[in-house]
Amino acid sequence: MIGKYVIEKAKDEKFYFNLKAANGQVILTSAMYTAKASAQNGIESIQKNSTSDDNYERKESKNSQPYFLLKALNQQIIGNSQMYSSAAAMEAGIASIKHNGPSTTVEDLTN
């Protein structure tokens, strides 16, 4: 089973999406977009870029929690992960994005 993208609208009227694993867990959150079409383009970018390890930038927060950024080929950030408890958990998160990222299922909650 593969996950899905869920497009939502924030209180400030901006659009964003989450990539959710098949179990419903959010595994990647997008940036905020002023237009829904831009969020849809972000989804397309993740579908194209999520399988290549070169597009993941592994980082560490100020309190030493691992997380990662997913970047497009132009190095623009197209999504960021949650904070993880360990590097191994972060790598499992990246593996989940690689598996679920190509999903073509999109749920639009903005209508």
pLDDT for 28: 95
Spans of all domains in the chain: 4-108
The band of 111, judged by pLDDT with boundaries at 50, 70 and 90, is: confident
Helix (H) or strand (E) segment spanning residue 99: helix 87-100
Q: What is the pLDDT of residues 1-12, one digit of tens each?
A: 899 999 999 999
The secondary structure of 16-72 as a DSSP string is: EEEEE-TTS-EEEE---BSSHHHHHHHHHHHHHHTT-GGGEEEEE-TTS-EEEEEE-
Question: What is 4-108's CATH number, 3.65.10.10, 1.10.1740.10, 2.30.29.80, 3.40.50.720?
Answer: 2.30.29.80
Q: What one-letter code names the amino acid at 50?
A: S
Per-residue model confidence as pLDDT tens digits over 18-61 = 999 999 999 999 989 999 999 999 999 999 999 999 999 999 99
Q: What confidence tens digit (pLDDT) does each residue in 59-106 have?
A: 999 999 999 999 998 999 999 999 999 999 999 999 999 999 999 999
Within 10 Å of residue 40's Cβ, how many Cβ atoms?
17
| Stated pTM of the model | 0.90
